[in-house]
Amino acid sequence: MSTGVAKEKSMIIQKEMIAQLSKELSMAKDTGKKVVYTFVPGNISELILSFDMLPVYPEINALQSGMRKKSEGFIRGAEKHGHSEDVCTYVKCDVGMMLAGNIGPNGETVPPPDLLLLSYTGCFTFMKWFETLERLYPGVPVALLHTPYQEAGHITPEMTAYMVKQLKEEVIPKMEKVSGKKYDEEKLKMHLRNSSKVEESIIKIFDSTKNRPSPIDAYFAGVYYIGPINNGFRGTSEAVDYYDELYKEIMVRVQKGLGPITPEGEIEEERFRLVVEGPPNWTHFREFWKLFYDMGAVIVASSYTKVGGVYDMGFRVNPDKPLESLAEYCMNCYTNLNLNQRVDLLSNCITKFHADGFLVNSIKSCNSFSAGQLMIMQQLERKLEIPVGFIESDLVDPRYFSYSNIKNRLESFFQMLEQRKLMVK
C-alpha cells in the first residue's frame, strides 16, 4: 500500500489558491478588506467579489477542522456553552472555533465578519446558525436572501422576481454600505462570464465517469474538485484556469485507461461503480475512502458534489441577466430540490454512469440531507431494480463514526453486488 501519491498540477494550483485566500483573510484588518460570512449552498460569490469583499464559509472551516482532527474539541466547547448534542455538528464546530479565538484550521486567524449574508437554501439550520452568529457578533448587519423551495419541482418567474427584489432591496444596499462601494453591474457580469466557463468545465469533469474505468472518484475526490467554486473562487479567472487544468489531467487519464487517484495510490481494478447520496464523514475521511478503495469501488456520481449548485439539469448563469442568474443559481442548489427531483437526478446518474449500486451515507446531525433518504433509497430500488445500501456517520463529530459498523455494512453491500454480478453473467 502506498502512503501517498504525487501531486498533480491542479492539486498544487488549488492549494496555492486556498492558501492565498487564507492569507488575505488573516490580513483583512490591515488591508481594510471587508469580510462576508456566508454559506456554500446559494453562495453568491460573484456579487461578493464585485464589491471587493472577502468571503468566509463556516461549513468549510468546520469540515477542514474535522479533517485536521480539531473538530471534537470545538464541538465539546460549544456543548459546554449550551448547544445540544442533536444540533448540526458543523454549527457546533464553527461556534466552538469562534469561542476558542477563531483560529482557523490552517492556523491563520479568521477575521470577524463585517456582514452576515444568510443565503437560505433549503436548510432551516442556516437561519438558527446565523441567529447564533448575530449574538456572537453584536452590531454586525445581517442580510437575508431567502430562497423559495422548489416544492412544485420547477422555478417560476414569480420566484425569480421575488429573489431579484431581495437582491436589489436587501442584499446590495447592505453590501454598498459595508464596502463603501456602489454596485457595479459590469463587474458582476465579468465574474459571471468566468462562472459560465467554469460550469461547462465542471460538467465535462464529472461526465468523465462515463468511461470505464472511471478516471476520477466523483465523491471522495469530487469534494476536492468542487473546493474552489465552494470556497470563494467561483467567478474568478483563477477558477477558470484551475478547472481547465484539471480537465486536461483527467482527459490524459482517460486516454491512458487509468482509474482514480486516491491517498492509497491508483485503483488498479474497478470492480464496482456506485452512486452515493449524502455528505462524507470528514473526521475519518481517509479511512472512509480506503474502505471503498480496498474493494475496488469507485463512486461515479454523488449528490454531495451538487450541494453548491446543480448543473446536470441544464442550469447555466447568464451574464446578460446577472441578478436573475444569481437567483436561479440559488434555487438550483441540491438542498433546495424537492424529494422527487432528487430521486430523478440520482436515477439519471445511476443510468447515465452505469452504476452497479446505490449507497446512502446518512448523517446523524444533517436533516437537510437525511430527511427523505430512506424514501429515495426505496424509490430507486423499486424503479431501477438496483442493489441499495445504507450506512450512518456524521459530518465532523468523531464520536459518531464507527469504523467497524460501517465496514461490516459495506462488506455486506459489496457481497450483494458481487452476487448480483455473478447472476447477471
- Asked if 48 and 119 count as a contact pair (C-beta separation under 8 A), the reply is no
Q: Of all residues in the chain, what percent carry a pLDDT higher than 70?
A: 98
State the DSSP string of 170-197. IIHHHHHHHHS----HHHHHHHHHHHHH
Residue 424 scores a pLDDT above 80? no
| Whether residue 228 sits in one domain with residue 155 | no
Number of folded domains that form the chain: 2
| Whether residue 42 sits in one domain with residue 136 | yes
- Checking 79-87 for CB contacts under 8 A at 24+ apart, the result is 86/365, 87/125, 87/365
| Whether residue 302 sits in one domain with residue 287 | yes
| Whether residue 224 sits in one domain with residue 176 | no
- What pLDDT, in 10s, does the model give residues 399-408? 999 999 999 9
| Whether residue 405 sits in one domain with residue 279 | yes
- What pLDDT, in 10s, does the model give residues 352-386? 999 999 999 999 888 888 889 999 999 999 999 99
Distance CA 317, CA 34 (A): 26
In a domain, 2, yes or no: no
Q: What is the largest CA-CA distance in the chain?
A: 67
Q: Is 68 helix (H, G, I), strand (E, B) or coil?
A: coil
**Which structural domain range is residue 363 located in?**
187-424
| Whether residue 205 sits in one domain with residue 122 | no
CATH number at residue 173: 3.40.50.11890
Q: Which of 153, 184, 215 is the last residue of a domain?
A: 184
In a domain, 255, yes or no: yes
Q: Could you say which DSSP state residue 168 is in? A: I
pTM given for the model: 0.94
- What pLDDT, in 10s, does the model give residues 302-358? 999 999 889 888 889 999 999 999 999 999 999 899 999 999 999 999 999 999 999
| Whether residue 235 sits in one domain with residue 254 | yes
Instruction: Please give the residue that has the higher pLDDT: either 151 or 188.
Output: 188
CATH number at residue 241: 3.40.50.11900
Q: Strands 388-393 and 357-363, how do they pair? A: parallel
In a domain, 4, yes or no: no
| Whether residue 270 sits in one domain with residue 142 | no
In a domain, 296, yes or no: yes
| Whether residue 308 sits in one domain with residue 283 | yes
| Whether residue 392 sits in one domain with residue 260 | yes
- What pLDDT, in 10s, does the model give residues 6-47? 567 898 999 999 999 999 999 999 999 999 999 998 889 999
In a domain, 3, yes or no: no
Q: Which of 153, 168, 184 is the last residue of a domain?
A: 184
- What pLDDT, in 10s, does the model give residues 235-263? 999 999 999 999 999 999 999 999 999 99
In a domain, 1, yes or no: no
Residue 411 to residues 346, 359, 415, Cα–Cα distance (Å): 23, 12, 6
In a domain, 21, yes or no: yes
Q: Which of 161, 184, 207 is the last residue of a domain?
A: 184
The amino acid present at 292, given as its one-letter code, is: F
Query: Residue 84 has what pLDDT?
Result: 87
| Whether residue 192 sits in one domain with residue 141 | no
| Whether residue 153 sits in one domain with residue 74 | yes
Tell me which residue has cell 479511512. 287
- What pLDDT, in 10s, does the model give residues 125-170? 888 899 999 999 999 999 999 999 998 899 999 999 999 999 999 9
